[in-house]
Structure 1
Amino acid sequence: MNLRKTSILAVCGLTLLGACAPAMTDTGTGATGLSRTQQGALAGAAVGALYGGTRDSDSNNQGRDAARAAIIGAAAGAVAGNILDRQAAALEQSISNPNVQIINRGSYLQVILPEGILFATGSAAVSGPAQTDLYAVARNLNQYPNSRVEVVGHTDNTGSAALNQDLSQRRAQSVAGILAAAGVASGRLSALGASYNQPIASNDTAAGRAQNRRVEILIRPTQ
């Protein structure tokens, strides 16, 4: 059996297993109806099959190697997806402000904090209530230590590029500083100001500009 056929069979088999499993209803559910655990298993199987099939130097056991690697890859992918599912669910339970968005992107978690709950206009000082939620995020990060954490500040396009770059950087550093003060290892943290270069809505309306003024915490697993 050649590599291509084995890879297809391995992934198709896991797809059938995923289709038979109950659909998830929390943030771990993708558009396909599969949980992140199931999606991770499928992705891991595909990568594992391709990798395993190319490791055999004489190609005599290429099909067997691909199948074995698919199983190992599926297990690793399922574990990673399950951890993200559980971490996202724990974050949702610990954060009190309903305006904070927690999105499981499959390979990382995205926590979106609107400007209105974090800062006064033009300020980089984090409000008291927002600090409480950031301490909850920090506790979650310490419970799931195998990740790196990127804190990214965003603005709308009002004002000069230099002003917005400075403000977005200071805001990202303020949030990262609170996470560090709450016990998150500084080596896991990075802070970046993105200014108005990554809008998620139109800057032509007040509502759109409000959405663009935000800080995002990106949690990327390292294992």
Structure 2
Amino acid sequence: MNIMMTNRRLALLGLSVATSAMLLGSCGTIQSMSNTQKGAATGAVAGGALGALIGNKAGNTAVGALAGAAIGGVAGGLIGRKMDKQAAEIERTVAGAEVIKADEGIIVKFDSGILFDFDKTDLKPAAQDNIAKLVESMNNNPDTDILVIGHTDNKGTDNYNQGLSERRARSVKSYAVSQGLAGRRVKTEGRSFHEPIADNDTDAGRAQNRRVEIVIVANDKMIEEAKNQAGT
């Protein structure tokens, strides 16, 4: 099952790259599509490698966002080192988060049960502490764009789960903004049960699929500074 899901993820990656590039490109910190287009072209080449590296830890949209934002080369390596430092900071300070580091970006993943009660969209008190700590890290590293992706298991209709996944992603963004994160840096998306990372036929698999993924990538300012430093 894991091999089948991974192959499906890689097959769909091209579509995910385009979708995620448009989402991240609409952030207020991005003034044009030029860098996003270049990143998507690079990401189409790098996507297979990223998918293999991340495996079944995250969904297509998250992997596509990372691939679409990648610029590669020396400048990409400089960005990667900054992301390494932020990933280590998040691992130290945010309880309950799984941090997935991949080249020039980071995925921070929370099981929905850590964030929300069953069928609810209000963050639990402990989850608010987690998100507040994550905001501290993101504010310490302001030159990034953020995509929050909500996911569900396959219990219930697609229409209901789509709405639930969207509302949960918006709830995370709303609380993060209330804690001082600039709203222009953050986009949200719900993916219902369309990007499983485990078997939806088992309780354990469904629990893994109920999750929120937070993707952190370099914004135009960080990219430009990295290119200047690299002399490109």
Aligned mates of 1:152, 1:139 — CA distance in 2: 20
Question: Larger Cα Rg: Structure 1 or Structure 2?
Answer: 1
Q: Structure 2 counterpart of 1:201, which letter?
A: A
- Deviation at 1:220? 1.1
How many Å separate the matches in 1 of 2:108 and 2:180? Answer: 18
**Structure 2 partner of 1:95:** 94
Partner Cα separation in structure 1 for residue 189 and residue 215 of structure 2: 11
- Show the counterpart of 2:103: 106
Q: Which amino acid aligns with 2:125?
A: G
Q: Is it true that 1:78 corresponds to 2:77 in the alignment? A: yes
Cα deviation for residue 106 of structure 1 reads 1.1
1:180 to 174, 177, 180: 177
1:154 and 1:144 mapped to 2: Cα distance? Answer: 26
Does the aligned pair in 1 maintain the 2:76–2:104 contact within 8 Å?
A: no
For residue 195 of structure 1, give the secondary structure of its aligned residue in structure 2: coil
Unaligned 5+ runs, structure 2: 1-52, 55-69, 224-232
Look up the SS of the partner of 1:220 in the other structure: strand
| Equivalent residue number for residue 147 of structure 1 | 144
Alignment partners' CA distance in 2, 1:150 and 1:78? 22
Count of equivalent residues: 153
Percent identity reads 39
Return the letter of the residue paired with 1:78.
Answer: G
Q: In structure 2, the residue corresponding to 1:148 is in which secondary structure?
A: strand
Counterpart amino acid of 2:218? Answer: P
Letter in 2 for 1:143: N
Q: Give the CA deviation at 1:113.
A: 0.3
User: 1:58 maps to what in 2?
Assistant: none
Aligned to 1:4: none
Q: Post-superposition shift, 1:191? A: 1.1
Alignment of 1:112-127 (within 5 A): 112-127=109-124
Q: Deviations over 1:162-221 (max 9, x none)?
A: 110010000000001111111111110111111001110010100000000001100011
Q: Normalising by the residue count of structure 2, what TM-score does the alignment of the two structures yield?
A: 0.63
Shift of 1:117: 0.6
Aligned: 1:169 with 2:166: yes
Query: Under a length normalisation based on structure 1, what TM-score does the superposition of the two structures give?
Result: 0.65
- SS of 1:122's equivalent in the other structure is coil
- Aligned partner letter, 1:177: S
Runs of 4+ in structure 1 off by over 3 angstroms are none
> Which structure's residues are more often helix, by fraction?
2
Instruction: Quote the RMSD (CA, aligned, Å).
Output: 1.7
CA-CA distance at 1:116 after TM superposition: 1.2
CA distance in 2, matches of 1:211, 1:202: 9
Distance 1:161 1:81 in 2: 37
Match of 1:38 in 2: none
Once the two structures are TM-superposed, the CA of residue 77 in structure 1 deviates from its matched residue by: 2.7
- Counterpart residue type for residue 186 of structure 2: L
In structure 1, stretches of 5+ residues that fail to align are 1-29, 32-42, 48-72
SS at match of 1:202: coil
Question: In 1, are the aligned partners of 2:164 and 2:192 still within 8 Å (CA)?
Answer: yes
Q: What residue in structure 1 maps to residue 187 of structure 2?
A: 190
What is the one-letter code of the residue matched to 2:88?
A
Q: Name the amino acid aligned to 1:158.
A: K
Higher relative contact order (CA 8 A, sep 6+): 2
- Structure 2 counterpart SS, 1:199: coil
Summarize the alignment of residues 198-217 of structure 1 with structure 2, pairs less than 5 Å apart: 198-217=195-214
